[in-house]
Amino acid sequence: MNTENQVLGLTRLSQYIKDFLNKNQEDYNDNDSDFELLLKRSEIENPWFTIENQKFALKQWTDLLTEENITDWLKEYQISKTTKRVGLILAGNIPLVGFHDVISVVLSNHIPVIKLSSKDKYMIPFLLKKWNEFSEGNVSFEFVEKLENFDAVIATGSNNTARYLEYYFKNHLNIIRKNRTSIAVLKGDETEGELKLLAEDIFRYFGLGCRNVTRLFIPQDFVL
């Protein structure tokens, strides 16, 4: 696969998403209408995935996936010359939470073998199809119900599930992620603007993300 085409396709995907987010519904073309319908379907099947939160997640990706950012990121790594099949068991706690793993596997010259979360099963297939189109067919991926025929695995699950995953994949190269959340430590001199940003870190995605703040440490004399 051609990494340059993959990067170019990813930047085109980013622009496609950005254009979609900036349009009013009355200006949608057929592709835009399909995209919006996908968001609505995701929200219906998983009410935690509100349209607002899905579009927020998409906006974050458009900010990240610039040609400069991707190029600087790839400079830090040596791209493998040997293509392997990397199993991905994706989480579904927040929209597109598994997309980073997918991008990382593709751009490192491997093939992601993807087991989607039942909570987030529409957006990633849609974006991967678009990425492949924008990359002139240079993005290989597979979606499976059960992982088979793979060389390594990246899996995300609860603390309890992780124990079983570690045992099940003990004979393969693996990265097994467990539950985690974030903390915040306040000194008491935070500005109103900083506290509003903290509120965003607490409540975005209804607090379901691993980077959401779930524990707050404050001075004893902090005015609540």
54 pLDDT tier (thresholds 50, 70, 90) = very high
pLDDT exceeds 90 at position 2:
no
Average pLDDT on 15-27 reads: 94
Distance CA 70, CA 131 (A): 14
Burial track 77-89 (b if 16+ CB lie within 10 A, e otherwise): eeeeeeeebbbbb
Q: Looking at residue 158, what is its pLDDT? A: 84
pTM, entire model = 0.92
Q: How far apart are CA 118 and CA 46, in angstroms?
A: 9
End-to-end CA distance of the chain: 56
- Pairing status of strand 213-217 against strand 182-185: parallel
Q: What's the pLDDT at 160?
A: 86
Task: Return d(Cα 94, Cα 206) in angstroms, integer.
Answer: 9
- The 10s digit of each residue's pLDDT in 178-217 is 888 899 999 999 999 999 999 999 999 999 998 999 999 9
Q: Is the pLDDT of residue 1 over 80?
A: no
Residue ranges of domains in the chain, CATH in brackets = 3-177 (3.40.605.10), 182-217 (no CATH)
Give yes or no for residue 159 having a pLDDT over 90. no
